[in-house]
Amino acid sequence: MSIRTNYEKWYESDDYYWGLEPGKFLDELIRLCPPSVGNAVLDIGCGEGKDAVYMAEKGYDVTAFDLTENGIRKTIALAENRNVAIDAYVDDINTFETGKQFDIIYSTGTVQYLFEENKKAFFEKIRQITKPDGIVFINVFVEKPFLELPPDWDKEEKMWRSGELFTYFADWKTERIDEVIFEDRSGGVPHFHCMDTIVCRKVDC
């Protein structure tokens, strides 16, 4: 197996690299699209599964994938440990296919792994596999000339241009758009990120 992301190594340990606290954005998503029978969530780049498992605990039907075998192994273990069912598997954001549509599509900290040539097809796919009235949440790291590359930046990650993410959903209903600079301590070294976030709804035109 060729290792394309350092996360494969960082997820080897029994400790959870990202901890077990669910992402701070999830309650916003739950408010915008509350769980009801059969409501489906896709977590793209689920890491070690803390967010996917939290959504399963809330009652959603969760599908989750990540490029790392260790991340998926830990996602499945966490789901078993919490007594929830989840469909988690190894896949690549650049090439993934799914036969399903989802009420919520969620991807945090992962879209910068899309190769430039795959961006257009990826967003066309996301638009197709979102159910009518469904919600998309995506964030991405963006380049700022006054910020250094983070110390745990992966060789396949590419910074996006400020605002670029928003252009793919210009005709959807915006629930939230923002660009924030924040301090992070992942990898043990304090550093800053700039991140663009979009939360938007697929509405009939």
Ligand X SMILES: C[S@@+](CC[C@H](N)C(=O)[O-])C[C@H]1O[C@@H](n2cnc3c(N)ncnc32)[C@H](O)[C@@H]1O
Q: Applying CB under 6 A, which of residues 7, 137, 160, 168 lies at the interface with ligand X?
A: 7
Q: Which of the stretches 31-39, 106-114, 125-133, 174-182 binds ligand X when contact is defined by CB under 6 A?
A: 106-114
| Residue 102 tokens, joined | 């989802």
The answer to whether residue 18 forms part of the interface with ligand X (CB under 6 A) is yes
How many other β-carbons are positioned within 10 Å of the β-carbon of residue 198? 20
Determine the Cα–Cα distance for residues 135 and 34; give it in Å rounded to an integer. 11
What number of chain residues touch ligand X (CB under 6 A)?
20
The answer to whether residue 109 forms part of the interface with ligand X (CB under 6 A) is yes
The answer to whether residue 130 forms part of the interface with ligand X (CB under 6 A) is no
The answer to whether residue 92 forms part of the interface with ligand X (CB under 6 A) is yes
- Amino acid identity of 145? P
Interaction mask 46-85, ligand X, x per CB under 6 A: xx--xx--------------xxx--x--------------
* Residues 83/54, Cβ–Cβ less than 8 Å: no
The string of DSSP letters for 37-49 reads TT-EEEEET-TTS
The answer to whether residue 94 forms part of the interface with ligand X (CB under 6 A) is yes
The tally of CA atoms less than 13 A away on the side-chain side of residue 61 is 9
* Residues 127/135, Cβ–Cβ less than 8 Å: no
* Residues 42/106, Cβ–Cβ less than 8 Å: yes
* Shortest Å, Cβ 37 to ligand X: 26
Residues 133-192 that bind ligand X (CB under 6 A): none
Question: Which chain residues interact with ligand X by CB under 6 A?
Answer: 5, 7, 18, 23, 45-47, 50-51, 66-68, 71, 92-94, 108-110, 113
